[in-house]
Structure 1
Amino acid sequence: MLSDRPPLRIGSRTSPMAMAQARLVQDLIAKVAGDIPTEIVGIETSGDQWMGDLAELGGKGAFLKEIDRHLMMGGIDVAMHAMKDVPGDVPLPEGTMFAAYLPREDVRDVLVVREGSPYTRLEEMPPGTRIGTSAVRRKAQLLKHRPDLHVDRIRGNVNTRIARLDAEKRFEAIILNLSGLHRVHMEHRASEVIAPDVMCPAVGSGVIGVQCRTADTGIAELLRLFDDAETRTHITAERTMLHGLRGHCNSPIAGHCHTTPDGQLSLIGMVFTREGGKFAYSHEWDSPERPAELGAYVAADLLRKGARGIIDGIPH
């Protein structure tokens, strides 16, 4: 009987956005294998609990290690990760794999102004305006574009950050990801979509990776049914670049791969100092069959242009 089958346990962070992503995976599994029961297991991570600087917890890996531990010890069968939070300098836990990448969502960042603000666009904001962001990548690029702004850190999930923006009036605006706003039904708060040439996305931005144990071949085959091939190609290029740079959690590294209208892979890579005053930039193209080669080439090009010195000059 179907009721006798133990449910497939999907592990996820407990933030509203992460739980929405977990429900998306749950729906996909139901579509391809409706006879397999599933349940979502919410896991509170140290990264979610800690409101200080993530670097003190070891960086973005603080969002992953508890979930990885549950997966490796059999507490869950499938793990959900936002690929932008998966470090480039730490290997995947032995015996695990990303069996599926969901189709990439909108990678663009947006400006969200506090309620009652007289401004709607970055260009309208006077020198010294306070902008909040949780990402060193965003801070570096924002200051490169507008060095006259005052950019400071704000932590918490999307809902919490917007609530703090309105209530505390500490910031005039914050920078968030457009697809994240859509996922929590707050896209109406975006007052300006920031052009990608001003704000290059994080490596893995907009992509959900679905992880399982390599020994669970049946689960891996199930997940592969909704793996998006183009997204896997783009992620391969971006993460190969990230591995080649050996950036740590505090490294402001941006990277974005897409397929051009004529079918070529395009990969932009950028490395910044934390204040955006110094940076290395590379943009190269290759055929869609060579994402790893493209990623390795862009990483090598960035290193030739001084990326190693920039990364090593930023404290861990």
Structure 2
Amino acid sequence: MALAQARHVQDLLLKAAPEITTEIVGIPAPGDRRSRVPAVRGARVFHREIDRRLLDGRVDLAVHSMTDVPGDVPLPEGVTFGAYLPRDDVRDVVVFRSGSPLRTLADAPPDTVVGTTSVRRTAQLLRYRPDLRVRRIRDAPDPADRLDLLDGDSGYEALVLPRTGLDRVNTAGRAAELLPLDMMCPPVGAGVTGVQCRVRDTDIADLLYRIDDGTTRTHVAAERTLLHGLRGHGGSPIAGHCHTLPDGRLSLRGMVFTRDGRHVIEVCERDDPDRPTRLGTRVSAALLRRGARALIDGPPR
């Protein structure tokens, strides 16, 4: 999926500036090595390695899924996000194993085994259907790998995955059910590809500006301010989604869960379209006042 994102960015850059030359340089993620390093620590190590390569000039750009960028670690000095691509669909989907008679989660009988990759999905699934058996998937980093796992002898009847991941590997046809946002609030940065560059490289920054989507940048600013205020990362039971209302104002919904979905704190606030960071700060502060820290720091599962 990372390669598909990088190629998409490459295509956009070449359309914006046909005279440039580009090369994609792959950097293996911890999951690609089947490492025993915990996922959160592995993600931090991975992003530090990318930052080092940017700062020392080995690469000029870095392409990220914004859901993977930690909120509890600041960007190093000299690095910035020069572009955010237009946001893809943020919703999650249900995929059933090949040959399953099920078509929706509502059809699933008690004790149906459902796999997912995040504590956020686990908590919301159990909130909706506490009678399901939700299991974490840890050794299948790519959507195609997860589908192979589902169709094999893993014991899963269904998986809940991000729709955008299936789209990027051309397997969207496997999605049986699209989960509404009021049931499954997405993670911060869902559906967003971000492109990092060095602050000092003004020519590259100007090039990235041509492919930057201002609305997405505003929404990401609100969401990541929320995540930073909660000191959250990819392993935290946090959901957050910003969108623009018909009147032009921003709406930000933030949620924090216990990992079993039994306890939820939810805050939704609105603010002016030019105040995304203020909005994110307000929502994170309100969540913390209501006890979010205890839920975030709860025992892992």
Q: Deviations over 1:244-298 (max 9, x none)?
A: 1112553210000000122111100001111111111001111101111111000
Residue 56 of structure 2 corresponds to residue 73 of structure 1: yes
* Distance of aligned partners of 1:137 and 1:52 in 2 relative to their CA distance in 1, 3 Å threshold: farther
Residue 4 of structure 2 corresponds to residue 20 of structure 1: yes
Aligned to 2:258: 273
Aligned to 2:16: 32
Distance in 2, Cα, partners of 1:119 & 1:249: 30
Q: 2:232 aligns with which of 243, 247, 252?
A: 247
> Once the 2 structures are TM-superposed, how far is the Cα of residue 32 of structure 1 from its aligned partner?
1.3
> Once the 2 structures are TM-superposed, how far is the Cα of residue 95 of structure 1 from its aligned partner?
1.2
* Distance of aligned partners of 1:164 and 1:177 in 2 relative to their CA distance in 1, 3 Å threshold: same
Distance in 2, Cα, partners of 1:144 & 1:54: 26
Aligned to 1:179: 164
> Once the 2 structures are TM-superposed, how far is the Cα of residue 94 of structure 1 from its aligned partner?
2.2
Alignment of 1:201-216 (within 5 A): 201-216=186-201
Aligned to 1:10: none
Aligned to 1:48: 32
> Once the 2 structures are TM-superposed, how far is the Cα of residue 168 of structure 1 from its aligned partner?
1.8
Aligned to 2:128: 145
Distance in 2, Cα, partners of 1:24 & 1:199: 27
Distance in 2, Cα, partners of 1:59 & 1:144: 29
Distance in 2, Cα, partners of 1:249 & 1:154: 14
TM-score (norm 1): 0.91
Residue 75 of structure 2 corresponds to residue 87 of structure 1: no
Residue 145 of structure 2 corresponds to residue 160 of structure 1: yes
* Distance of aligned partners of 1:49 and 1:108 in 2 relative to their CA distance in 1, 3 Å threshold: same
Q: Deviations over 1:179-203 (max 9, x none)?
A: 2111111010000001111110000
Provide the secondary structure at the position in 2 that maps to 1:64: helix
Instruction: Determine if contact 1:61/1:85 at 8 Å carries over to the other structure.
Output: no
Provide the secondary structure at the position in 1 that maps to 2:25: strand
Provide the secondary structure at the position in 2 that maps to 1:58: helix
* Distance of aligned partners of 1:164 and 1:51 in 2 relative to their CA distance in 1, 3 Å threshold: farther
Residue 81 of structure 2 corresponds to residue 98 of structure 1: yes
Provide the secondary structure at the position in 1 that maps to 2:26: strand
TM-score (norm 2): 0.95
* Distance of aligned partners of 1:192 and 1:62 in 2 relative to their CA distance in 1, 3 Å threshold: farther
Give the root-mean-square deviation of aligned CA atoms: 1.6
Which consecutive residues of structure 2, in runs of 5 or more, have no partner in the other structure? none
Instruction: Determine if contact 1:137/1:252 at 8 Å carries over to the other structure.
Output: yes
Letter in 2 for 1:43: I
Distance in 1, Cα, partners of 2:201 & 2:256: 38
> Once the 2 structures are TM-superposed, how far is the Cα of residue 213 of structure 1 from its aligned partner?
1.0
> Once the 2 structures are TM-superposed, how far is the Cα of residue 310 of structure 1 from its aligned partner?
1.1
* Distance of aligned partners of 1:47 and 1:303 in 2 relative to their CA distance in 1, 3 Å threshold: same
Letter in 2 for 1:34: P
Instruction: Determine if contact 2:30/2:42 at 8 Å carries over to the other structure.
Output: no
> Once the 2 structures are TM-superposed, how far is the Cα of residue 153 of structure 1 from its aligned partner?
1.2
Aligned to 2:290: 305
> Once the 2 structures are TM-superposed, how far is the Cα of residue 125 of structure 1 from its aligned partner?
0.6
Distance in 2, Cα, partners of 1:250 & 1:38: 33
Instruction: Determine if contact 2:43/2:68 at 8 Å carries over to the other structure.
Output: yes
Instruction: Determine if contact 2:67/2:234 at 8 Å carries over to the other structure.
Output: no
> Once the 2 structures are TM-superposed, how far is the Cα of residue 28 of structure 1 from its aligned partner?
1.0
Letter in 2 for 1:130: V
* Distance of aligned partners of 1:151 and 1:284 in 2 relative to their CA distance in 1, 3 Å threshold: same
